Structure 1
Amino acid sequence: MIIGVDVGTSVTKASLLGRDGSARVTHSVRSTLHRSAGGRVEQDLDEVVASVISVVRSVAAEADSPVQALAITGQGDGLWLRDAAGAQVGPGLSWLDARSAPVLERWESEGVLRRVYGLTGSGMFPGSAAPLLAHVAEHEPQRLERAEVAGYCVDAIVQRLTGEVTVDASDASLPFLDVPTRAYNAAVLEACGLSGFRALLAEPAPPGKLFALDSRSAAELGLSPGLPVSAGPFDLPACAFGSGVRADGDAALVIGTTLGCQVLRDEVTIDPDADAAGMWLATPDPDRYLRVMPAMVGTANLDWVLRMVGAGVQDLEALLAASPAGANGVSALSFLSSSGERAPFVEPHARGQFTGLSLETTPADLVRALCEAVAYAARHNLESAGLTGEVAACGGGARSAAWSRIFASVLGRPLHVPHEEGVGARGAAMTAWDSLGEPVDRELWSNARHTVQPDAAAVEFYERGYRAYLESIDRARPVWRSGGGVSG
């Protein structure tokens, strides 16, 4: 058995996983996002570590057979500054943080974003490490003077549990890594003006690396000292592999707070004419990569529109049933994040809209229009990432049968939804078993899912709707860039 831990943005979960990929026991606890003016979104590392200790200890207490390893995954991006002992140097800056938007605007005007994209094939957004590091260097230089490590959530936790300073190659991929070689690209650091902080970046761990749980942490977790600890990949690639993605061109769609749209690829290719968005991620297999388009739209948009109409998640199926495909003429752009959009294009000032409203528009029409807009965004991102194969879907949004059917119909292909909801922890555990030299039966894991078929009658309708969606974005982008409101 392996205990898989997924340290999400607001919830930390741990599961006791068997070799068939099923969870015997799961415990979860919420953690806090601290929001303040200027688009700041922060987390307290001590609270996050305490959440890990809480859920792992609860799961370990119920384990009825030996635990072979602790496998950790969690949120990526952001900036988690620590000292040599692993103590936080100021709060962790979440990937949702928008304070560095002015840095990105400056880098765009100076051509930095395009140069970095040409070197790595990866774009940047306000919550990625490079602009956050540049912002802190400009506004809080004393923090960097005290810091020994500039890393991410997963490696911050691993440092606390094992004493090791490390980073998984998936986390390190954006934006400083040359992904095929797994080495930091000095030209990228120079382009961002961050060469002076190279010493804060931990060397990526080699594939298959395991760490050892120290005695203090073992006592807190209720596990054995020296227990192998696997660190990564972070949650997006962990979800891809945990949901059964195996072949070149296959995709994983994580319908969570945001959309994690990713496609498995056998080689890294860089299109110099494409938007400087998305990212290439290293994976546990050094010869395979993930092309990821991490859009800022997702279930957070659903939560918002349900609040606006006075409904809850429990009402979603009925609301979607009460409005037909096309939402009775209402359409939407779903860019509601305060930090704009980051894939498949980067627009820090992107904002949402509804069009086609009338006195006859119902709450159900508003909900369906936004759900369809998120599905269009998923298609936009997956096609930009190179989708050619099957699509696995996971996350809270995939639990809705009606919304899943919309996604399948917009994509024009089936969605394969794993029976186990904790696919991030599954992916981390799969990696840990590989590192232990005891790989699991991947075909068995991939078959443990159900399939949502497209609605044949809606596919052609949504094809036209998708083209109209792309045209709406083309009209809106110049308005966003000018700082004005979005017109229909």
Structure 2
Amino acid sequence: MNPVLLCLDSGTTSVKAAAFDGQGRLLARTERPNGALHRDGLRVEQDMAQTRAEALSVLRDCAVQLAGHVAGKIAGLVVTGQGDGLWPVNGSGQPVGRALTWLDGRARELAAGMGPALDAVQAATGSRPTAASASLQLLWLQRNDPARYARIALALRLKEWLFLSLTGRALAEPSVLLPVWGDWRSGALAPTVSDTLGLSRGTELLPELAAVGAARAGLSAEAAQATGLPQGLPVLLGPGDVQSTLIGLGLGSRQGVARASIFGTSAIHACLLDDPAAMPQAPAGAMIQQFVLGPGYLCFHPCFNGATLLHHLSRRFADLPAAPAPEYSALILHPFLEPGGERAPWTDPHASGALFGLGAATTPSQIAWAGREALAFVTRASHAMMGAPDGALSLGGGLAGDGHFAQFLATLTGCTVQRSPGSHAGLRGLAAIGARFLLDAPDPAAWIGDPEQSLAPEPGPVAAYADCKYRLFSALLDAATPFWEPLSALRTKAEELMETP
């Protein structure tokens, strides 16, 4: 009998579910926009009850698609979601207010004023806390909303909240937990994090820790009734959405892929290394996770500013084309528009955007294309800092559908770029993980598949233009960085003036 794997991925933009058979064929897929996200300046929160309802809804829709069409038995459900943020619950497992998402910027000022403490945490864990980290978000609550902080019994991430909602059990796995609360080198928690940051409660708020593969429980009666899936169905807690998507893009799972970049709400640039200590540069915002499908470590730069840069630009400049052909110009854009500043490869809560070379003859198409060039420049910088090995760069996220961007990225980086815009990489990565641990199928190739297109670098004038502009981008960034903090202080003064009656 052909087994069926269900996969659930609750992201910042949308909530998705899919079903695959034992040969990796996609049998059913559902998706709905994330309607639980609330943006209000620095406050970027998510309604936890609505998030749970949306996850149950897409699973129910997927189960309806499968009914009567699948002869195989459903072998299990694999779950992932946004990797960072704080999803607090009380002793009864109910939400303590809205979740603080990874985009929430309220802890930005804490990050800006705790340099020595953050240095000490980075020395202990290998990763530096940012405004997206649960540790600093807990500290912000402790200082600014102590009554709410006192009601928290467990500090979860989104995927752990969904796992609790589906099974009634609170579990975590180490790949996303250790960069904040432990040490990737030893695999152990580091209680010193709480003491160093001044948290009265930290690691004691974490759920039980189990390895990927062992972090599983049966589907509860309530969740079974809500989804139409069988009670007791094995539910596997996968790694974070970043690692799931990177696996789905072929990193560590497709021959010849040495690095990958995801352009969703955020941008993630990653490679797989045997020894992360050998990286040429390790920016404070870099993260390291144990690879769940085999030996080695995923090293990646999680940027706050990804493809949403293009959305922000379109809101501020009229008539920007949605998918422009290349419009080469002297415009150079620094793509730091999110309220939390930037996390990696430049780690600064005060990071802000800039546009150089603007003139009376500047066109909307040039601005739109400069935004894409900026994202490509950050990609090149990130992979150079990590010392990514030679090989293809697999491209994922919404911008994988933009062939002009993919070709420019190939030319700029000198790498063959593989693009699979319709592959549902995160869901396929989850299926490969589920196949490994639920079906005992160690070869992920069937679930990952081949890329839809491979683009080689183009030599000639465009390559020379791209290299020259990248060097100017970097030089201007070095010059602008010292002004980020004064600009942030000026912004605060301006906001206070505008609020004064």
Q: CA deviation at 1:428?
A: 1.5
The one-letter code sitting in structure 2 at the alignment partner of 1:291 is C
* Residue type of the alignment partner of 1:213: L
Inter-CA distance 176–329: structure 2 relative to 1 (3 Å threshold): same
Match 1:477 to one of 478, 481, 484: 481
AA aligned to 2:113 is R
Amino acid at match of 1:464: C
- 2-structure distance, mates of 1:73, 1:333: 31
Alignment length, in residue pairs?
A: 476
Aligned to 2:38: 34
What do residues 240-262 of structure 1 show as CA deviations (whole Å, max 9, x unaligned)?
A: 11111117982221111110111
- Measured after TM superposition, the shift of residue 195 of structure 1 is 5.8
Cα distance in 2 for residues equivalent to 1:282 and 1:479: 36
SS of aligned partner of 1:456: coil
**8 Å Cα contact 2:77/2:233 also seen in 1:** yes
Percent sequence identity over matched residues?
Answer: 28
Structure 2 unpaired stretches of 5+: 492-501
Q: Which of the residues 408, 430, 438 maps onto 2:440?
A: 438
> In 2 relative to 1, CA 274–231 (structure 1 residues): closer, same or farther, beyond 3 Å?
closer
* Separation in 1, partners of 2:233, 2:117: 44
Helix, strand or coil at the partner of 2:325:
helix
User: Which residue of structure 2 aligns with residue 465 of structure 1?
Assistant: 469
Q: How many Å separate the matches in 2 of 1:24 and 1:153? A: 26
Residue number in structure 1 paired with 2:237? 231
| Residue from 12, 15, 35 that aligns with 1:12 | 15
Task: Using the TM superposition, give the Cα deviation of residue 119 of structure 1 relative to its aligned residue in structure 2, in angstroms.
Answer: 2.2
1:133 to 1:271, Cα distance in 2 relative to 1, 3 A: farther
Deviation at 1:419, TM superposition (A): 5.7
Distance 1:447 1:435, change over 3 A: closer
Q: 1:172 to 1:22 in 2, by over 3 A?
A: same
In structure 1, the residue matched to 2:149 is 144
SS at match of 1:112: helix
Secondary structure of the residue that 1:416 maps to in structure 2?
strand
**Take 2:307 and 2:5, find their aligned partners in 1: how far apart are those partners?**
29
Alignment partners' CA distance in 2, 1:56 and 1:441: 26
- Distance in 1 between the 2:303 and 2:108 partners? 16
Find 1:253's aligned residue among 255, 258, 261: 261
* Counterpart secondary structure, 2:208: coil
**Which residue identity is paired with 1:416?**
Q
CA RMSD of aligned residues (A): 2.2
Q: Which residue among 428, 431, 454 is the counterpart of 1:429?
A: 431
Counterpart residue type for residue 26 of structure 1: R
2:225 to 213, 219, 223: 219
Structure 2 letter corresponding to 1:474:
D
Trace 1:6-405 onto structure 2 (pairs within 5 A).
Answer: 6-30=9-33, 31-37=35-41, 39-63=42-66, 64-65=69-70, 66-108=73-115, 111-194=116-199, 196-209=201-214, 210-246=216-252, 250-269=258-277, 274-285=282-293, 287-311=295-319, 315-317=321-323, 319-321=324-326, 323=327, 327-389=328-390, 390-405=392-407
Residues 285 and 183 (structure 1 numbering): CA distance in 2 closer, same or farther, change over 3 Å?
Answer: farther
Partners of 2:396 and 2:421 within 8 A in 1? no
Task: For 1:216, give the aligned amino acid.
Answer: E
- Give the match's secondary structure for 2:243: helix
Please, what TM-score do these two structures have when normalized by structure 1? 0.92
* 2-structure distance, mates of 1:24, 1:379: 37
State the distance in 1 between where 2:256 and 2:402 align: 28
Q: Quote how far apart the aligned CAs of 1:265 are.
A: 1.8
**Higher alpha-carbon deviation: 375-384 or 14-23:** 14-23
- Provide the C-alpha distance between the structure 1 equivalents of 2:209 and 2:438, rounded to a whole number of angstroms: 19
Find the aligned partners of 1:206 and 1:273 in 2 and give their Cα distance.
Answer: 29
Deviation per residue, 1:151-187 (Å, 9 max, x gap):
1000011011101111121221231121133221122
What's the CA shift for 1:106? 1.9
DSSP 3-state at the match of 2:347: coil
Distance in 1 between the 2:114 and 2:406 partners?
38
Q: CA deviation at 1:343?
A: 0.3
Offset at residue 380 of structure 1 (A): 1.4
CA distance in 1, matches of 2:279, 2:291: 21
- 1:407-418 counterparts in 2 under 5 A? 407-418=409-420
Q: Contact 1:251–1:263 (CA<8 Å) still a contact in 2?
A: yes
Range with bigger deviation, 141-150 or 17-26? 17-26
* 8 Å Cα contact 1:408-1:414 kept in structure 2: yes
- Structure 1 residues 32-79: Cα deviation after superposition (integer angstroms, max 9, x where no partner): 311224x01111111001011111100111112232111111111110
Partner AA of 1:283 in structure 2? F
Distance across 2 between alignment mates of 1:186 and 1:164: 23
1:107 and 1:162 map into 2 onto residues whose CA distance is 38
Does structure 2 conserve the Cα–Cα contact (< 8 Å) formed by 1:103 and 1:131? yes
2:179 is paired with a residue whose SS is coil
Partners of 1:361 and 1:18 in 2: CA distance? 52
CA deviation map 1:220-259 (0-9, x unaligned):
1111111111112111000011111117982221111110
Q: Deviations over 1:442-470 (max 9, x none)?
A: 33445421212223232232122222111
> 1:266, 1:272 → 2: CA distance?
14
